[in-house]
Chains A and B, each alone.
Chain A
Amino acid sequence: MSTELFYQSIPSLATALEAGKLSSVELVRSVIDRTKAVEPKIKAFNSFDEEDALAQARESDVRRAAGRTRGAMDGIPIGIKDVIAVSGQPLTASSRMLANFISPYDATVTRKLKGAGAICWGRLNLDEFAMGSSTENSAFGPTSNPYALDCVPGGSSGGSAAAVAAGEAIVSLGSDTGGSIRQPAAFCNLVGLKPTYGLISRYGLIAFASSLDQIGPFARSVEDAAITLGVIAGHDPLDSTSYRTEVPDYRAALKTRTGPWRLGIPKEYFGEGLDSEVGRAVEKAIAHYQSIGCEVKDVSLPHTEYGVGVYYIIATAECSSNLARFDGVRYGHRSKDAKDAIDLYFKSRAEGFGAEVKRRIILGTYVLSSGYYDAYYLRAQKVRTLIRNDFLTAYREVDAIITPTAPTPAFRRGTKADPLAMYLCDIYTIGVNLAGLPGISVPCGFSADGRPIGMQLIGQPYHEAELLAIAHAYERAHEWGQRRPAL
């Protein structure tokens, strides 16, 4: 059976393009048609620009015909989360605040993708300003999980996950502050990578929590994720927090790095609240690693229980400051009936932001306030260091750590109205952001009713090549990732 174009992998598409059996225009048309067919059910996109995508595809075909192709991603459509700037395209963060904002500049990742010939395709839905775990907080309506339409795709990068799972893009970019790539990847049967903090430039990513945010790829295979990562990684002079490091050939590492590895199992990640089907699936994956010669060890991450608390202090503190610029003065939503400048701030922000965004701004403003800073923010930063040290201590004995990505498979829309219940969706992913480590979610099974399950592999700082290789070693022995949704 030949796979539809929109479900093929980057290497197979690149081979077909290279051989002249396929044009980028044909590929993009196939993706556009697929998008139009399934989008009424999925609603992964805030907007897409067919003409722009086809124009990019034609340029790619011209380059290829002239022998000036730019590598594996030339001509491949990649979906972009609507918090990453693409010049000339909307940049809304799924917020009323930016509903009419068109970005006049490219994010560094966008510039790199265009430089590699990739086709920036569409603006993908998210929880407003990346705050949420279900993509229900979008001002433009929720996105559905392609594997269970009444369920959420996860969040905040739910649009990026659903689009790739439903064949509306070959790969996509998301951003991950506390699990926003890995959790939706787990919910949508995808590979989702949150790289080490500093590996990918954040220039052009609308900041939620600057010290935690990181851009990363969604893909239907580890190899596609590795190819995409190779294009967007590397130091950027426009981002002071981006790290000067060599970018290895991630794709080649999948073949050259074969283990065996020492893998750590943190007991703190397998306790109360973990769904039994998820727990069993991850246990089986661990057993597989043992079967291919890996050494599996218990490790302890004793400060795990503080993760969610620390996260919601640091992330909200940073967001309260980061989102101050959305004031209706220079761009974005401006209230029509403001009496003066102060009133303009109050009304524009009251009208422009949704409830979850306001909740976090208020919380963050509070924890930074005079008299509370030491008790909350400063202490949270100290605990954050302890959490990082937990991981670094564990890495003296193991190469990577295995955990579930999320405590449950995708849940039904509207079932987590309590913010705290929603915050606990990220309980296994938050520590990775706090510690600045790379983490990847890999499909490892399905629930009895057909909802995907993902496991999380956590690596050492800047060891993405190793992490991808470990993920690949599991993936090639299993077929979970190849199961497509019935749409």
Chain B
Amino acid sequence: MSGRMSGASVDLRSKELLLEQTLADIVRFPPMNYEAVIGLEVHIQIKTKSKMFTRVAAGYGHDANTLTDPVVLALPGVLPVMNKAALDAIVKAGLLLGCDIAPVCKWDRKNYFYPDSPKNYQISQYDQPICLGGTVEIELPGAARNIQGEHKRIPLTRIHLEEDVGKLNHGASDSLIDYNRAGTPLMEVVSEPAMQTAEEAFAYLTALRMAMVYAGISDCDMEKGQLRCDANISVRPVGQTTLGTKVELKNLNSISFVRDGIAHEIKRQIGVLNAGGAIPQETRDYDGQTGASKSLRSKEMAHDYRYFPDPDLMPVKVDETWKARLRAECPELPFDKQRRFYERYQIPYTITAVLVPDQELSNFFEEVVKLTGAGLAQSVGNWVVNDLLRELGTAKIPLSASRIGPAHLAELVKLIDGGTLLNNAAKEVFSDMFQTGDLPTRVADRKGLMAETSTAELDQWCREAIAANPKSLADFKGGKESALNAFKGPVMKAAKGKANPKLVDETLRRLLAET
């Protein structure tokens, strides 16, 4: 080939070379199937009256630096004193998630300089977290919205207790610090690197949040910073057992940013690897607005926190009696409730998926079922999820502000079941009692919506209907059961829709038998 030295052949040869090079690249870097490995570190503010180590109130939305005292501001000479309510809350969280509770709550100092940390160390738990192990049960998205997805348990590494830091507000030429948040009890829930997809991470966070809200441990409002999430993400070729280099993704400050940020990071890492690059261990900052991330610091710049036991705080024993008391305060977990609603009342997923995430709503449902009996639970469920929620949504009020109590709905469902209230009438009664707070019987009486029960009048209408339709009479007598329906329309019409259909049915059969 070297003999042909025309321009065209040179061109061809260079193309060949390019192809060879590309093929070589493909051999060296074959396009691979990658899988991601995700672990989450979730910080959750514990809802307590006072701060973690002092008596000043904890809260959100107050004027800057009003929730402070000498301890929060780390004035010379002050000392921390543990808030027992915060320890109660985290032990409860641990019991709820099946963690092992350490027999002793031990405190360590995590030393680092930053203006949001008044002492320039954070009181935290290093080598002996109060909760070890445990799992968070998650529900993955189903094939469709009304189909229940797969459930699985994400294992936890640990949960520990610490104090929150203040907040920096950066101006053009200076930065201001608000210490209101500083010292708020904070628990850090660390999962094992056991999730594979952004959807799993999303489901994990949703489930964790639901459990914490259920137990009254936190309101988990991400907008108020009550729940914050960092993700450790690595990718590896499918089949590889060792972990890839992890990247820590920070500032995932809404639940959808968590999903989007993780998805973006997985794509980015696979892209880097496919291009023959390597992933450096680093911390990246995700910007939810632009959907992009940038490097914050590399591993070399990682802090040496110089952890050591805090000499200002004595270890606190958590004994069996203490644990037993807290265990008694633990609520049923949402997914357990979902299963129970199905097993006990046969409430379908479409209803429980709405009912269960809302603790107040599911409690309301059970209050009503207590009054109606389990047999009417499905009907109760439908009314709560469809009608009650719609009315609440329209009125833009929470359930607690509603004028409809469990007794209202229970009576309504029983009236429908007894045939005294027809469906359309019941809808009208419901709307009315939502406005007035009157009980259904009263509304129905007031509005004349009760099904007709006077037998003399009904007998008369039925006789007329039978007499007016000899063909159907013959059909019925001839054994055609469905012919009965032909009489019902005229009867209902005569009753102006207020006849009890059960009663109509019975009366027609009685009279037909006599005819």
User: Is A84's CB within 8 Å of the partner chain B?
Assistant: yes
Interface size on B, residues (CB 8 A): 30
User: Is B29's CB within 8 Å of the partner chain A?
Assistant: no
* B109 pairs with A206, CB closer than 8 A: no
Known interface pairs A210-B312, A240-B82, A240-B312; A327-B120 also in contact (CB < 8 Å)? yes
Q: List residues of B (76-124) whose CB comes within 8 Å of A's CBs.
A: 76-82, 109, 111, 113-115, 118-121
Known interface pairs A321-B306, A325-B120, A370-B306; A241-B314 also in contact (CB < 8 Å)? yes
Whole-angstrom distance from the CB of A239 to the nearest CB of chain B?
5
Q: List residues of A (90-116) whose CB comes within 8 Å of B's CBs.
A: 91, 93, 98, 101, 103-105, 107
Known interface pairs A237-B81, A240-B313, A327-B113; A98-B304 also in contact (CB < 8 Å)? no
Q: List residues of A (159-218) whose CB comes within 8 Å of B's CBs.
A: 202-207, 209-211
Q: Which of B75, B80, B109 is A321 in contact with, Cβ under 8 Å?
A: B109
Q: Which residues of B contact A147 (CB under 8 A)?
A: none
Q: Which residues of A contact B118 (CB under 8 A)?
A: 325, 330
Chain B 54-86: CB-based contact to A (< 8 A → 1; otherwise 0): 000000000000000010011111111110000
User: Is A341's CB within 8 Å of the partner chain B?
Assistant: yes
Query: In the complex, A365→B306 CA distance in Å?
Result: 8
User: Is B376's CB within 8 Å of the partner chain A?
Assistant: no
User: Is A329's CB within 8 Å of the partner chain B?
Assistant: yes
Query: In the complex, A239→B77 CA distance in Å?
Result: 11
Instruction: Select from chain A the residue with minimum beta-carbon distance to B304.
Output: A370
Instruction: Select from chain B the residue with minimum beta-carbon distance to A239.
Output: B79
* B79 pairs with A238, CB closer than 8 A: yes
User: Is B311's CB within 8 Å of the partner chain A?
Assistant: yes
Chain B 439-450: CB-based contact to A (< 8 A → 1; otherwise 0): 000000000000
* B74 pairs with A325, CB closer than 8 A: yes
User: Is A66's CB within 8 Å of the partner chain B?
Assistant: no
Q: Which residues of A contact B114 (CB under 8 A)?
A: 341
* B82 pairs with A324, CB closer than 8 A: no
Q: Which residues of A contact B308 (CB under 8 A)?
A: 317, 321, 368, 373, 377
Q: List residues of A (205-238) whose CB comes within 8 Å of B's CBs.
A: 205-207, 209-211, 237-238
Chain B 118-138: CB-based contact to A (< 8 A → 1; otherwise 0): 111100000000000000000
User: Is B175's CB within 8 Å of the partner chain A?
Assistant: yes
* A240 pairs with B311, CB closer than 8 A: no
Q: Which residues of B contact A240 (CB under 8 A)?
A: 79-82, 312-314
Whole-angstrom distance from the CB of B82 to the nearest CB of chain A?
7
Q: Which residues of B contact A202 (CB under 8 A)?
A: 79
Whole-angstrom distance from the CB of A139 to the nearest CB of chain B?
15
Instruction: Select from chain B the residue with minimum beta-carbon distance to A92.
Output: B76
* B76 pairs with A103, CB closer than 8 A: yes
User: Is A345's CB within 8 Å of the partner chain B?
Assistant: yes
Q: List residues of A (285-327) whose CB comes within 8 Å of B's CBs.
A: 317-318, 320-321, 324-327
User: Is A393's CB within 8 Å of the partner chain B?
Assistant: no
* B73 pairs with A330, CB closer than 8 A: yes
Whole-angstrom distance from the CB of A385 to the nearest CB of chain B?
14
* A91 pairs with B311, CB closer than 8 A: no
* B81 pairs with A91, CB closer than 8 A: no
User: Is A282's CB within 8 Å of the partner chain B?
Assistant: no
Q: Which residues of A contact B81 (CB under 8 A)?
A: 237-240
Interface centre among B118, B312, B313, B314 (most CB of A within 10 A): B312
Interface magnitude class on chain A? 35 or more
* A105 pairs with B75, CB closer than 8 A: yes
Query: In the complex, A204→B79 CA distance in Å?
Result: 8
Interface centre among B113, B118, B177 (most CB of A within 10 A): B113
Query: In the complex, A318→B121 CA distance in Å?
Result: 12
* A204 pairs with B77, CB closer than 8 A: yes
* B312 pairs with A321, CB closer than 8 A: no
Known interface pairs A238-B79, A368-B111; A325-B119 also in contact (CB < 8 Å)? yes
* A206 pairs with B80, CB closer than 8 A: no
Query: In the complex, A429→B70 CA distance in Å?
Result: 32
User: Is A369's CB within 8 Å of the partner chain B?
Assistant: yes
Query: In the complex, A165→B48 CA distance in Å?
Result: 51
Q: Which residues of B contact A101 (CB under 8 A)?
A: 76
Whole-angstrom distance from the CB of B311 to the nearest CB of chain A?
4
Q: Which residues of B contact A327 (CB under 8 A)?
A: 113, 115, 120
Q: Which of B74, B76, B80, B119 is A98 in contact with, Cβ under 8 Å?
A: B76
* A93 pairs with B76, CB closer than 8 A: yes
Whole-angstrom distance from the CB of B122 to the nearest CB of chain A?
11
Q: Which residues of A contact B73 (CB under 8 A)?
A: 330-331
Instruction: Select from chain B the residue with minimum beta-carbon distance to A202.
Output: B79
Chain A 317-354: CB-based contact to B (< 8 A → 1; otherwise 0): 11011001111011100000000011001000000000
* B119 pairs with A105, CB closer than 8 A: no
* B79 pairs with A324, CB closer than 8 A: no
Given contacts A91-B76, A326-B76, 12 further A-B contacts (CB under 8 A): A91-B77, A105-B75, A105-B78, A204-B77, A207-B312, A321-B308, A324-B119, A325-B74, A325-B119, A330-B177, A368-B306, A368-B308
The 9 A-B pairs at the shortest CB distance, nearest first, are namely: A324-B120, A210-B311, A211-B311, A368-B306, A325-B74, A204-B77, A206-B76, A370-B304, A206-B77
11 A/B residue pairs, CB under 8 Å, sorted by A = A101-B76, A204-B78, A205-B77, A206-B76, A207-B77, A207-B79, A324-B111, A324-B121, A330-B118, A330-B177, A341-B175
